[in-house]
Amino acid sequence: MIRLFTMLAVSATICGLSSTAQAHVNPEDVAARCVDRVESLVDRYQDVTADKGQECLATIRRLLAAGRKEAAIHAGRRCIEASRQRADDVLTDTRSLCAECIEYLRTVGAYRLAARVQNACEDAALIMGATQDRLESIIHTALE
């Protein structure tokens, strides 16, 4: 769902414009919309990761309380794998969005704006990686 929305947003923002309309689009507005969209994807990823992480921890604690250590470990592994897949999906969407935005901005000669979008995209990847690392650390700690 996020991937579909991302592609529609990019298309509407950049690709859906005729070449005449593109000439009248303010590159600063395009860059701002791209950065906003990237930040929105990261925020959503963090929210979902936090929610799913809480669900996972509750399951792990319940299984450990019932003396089912192996089941808890298995549940933790499943949670981490699912979260990694979610992160990969969002990162793929983010990279696609970033590439299209940066390409458009470079095409219109807005190199500084393209660099600004690139920086936001790199920051997004770092934030998602840190979020995933935190979740994995919390799960591993719960299983100790």
User: What is residue 112's predicted lDDT score, i.e. its pLDDT?
Assistant: 96
- The single-letter DSSP state of residue 1 is -
How many angstroms separate the Cα of 115 from the Cα of each of 31, 94, 98? Answer: 10, 15, 11
Q: What is the residue range of 102's domain? A: 45-144
Return the pLDDT at 80. Answer: 95
In a domain, 13, yes or no: no
What per-residue confidence (pLDDT) applies to 5? Answer: 46
CB atoms within 10 A of CB 123: 14
The torsion angle over the Cα atoms of residues 5, 8, 13 and 15, rounded to 10 degrees, is 150
User: Is 25 part of any domain?
Assistant: no
Query: Per the domain annotation, does 99 fall within a domain?
Result: yes
What pLDDT does residue 7 have?
44
Q: Give a yes or no: residue 121 inside a domain.
A: yes
Classify residue 86: in a domain, yes or no: yes
| pLDDT tens by residue, the chain, 144 residues | 445 444 445 544 554 443 444 556 899 999 999 999 999 999 999 999 999 999 999 999 999 999 999 999 999 999 999 999 999 999 999 999 999 999 999 999 999 999 999 999 999 999 999 999 999 999 999 998
**Is 104 a domain residue?**
yes
Specify the number of domains making up the chain.
Answer: 1
Q: Which token pair is 5? A: 């929305």
Please report the pLDDT score of residue 73 as a whole number. 96
pLDDT of residue 23: 54
Q: 1 in a domain, yes or no?
A: no
Amino acid identity, residue 124?
A: A
pLDDT at position 6 is 46
Within a domain: 57: yes
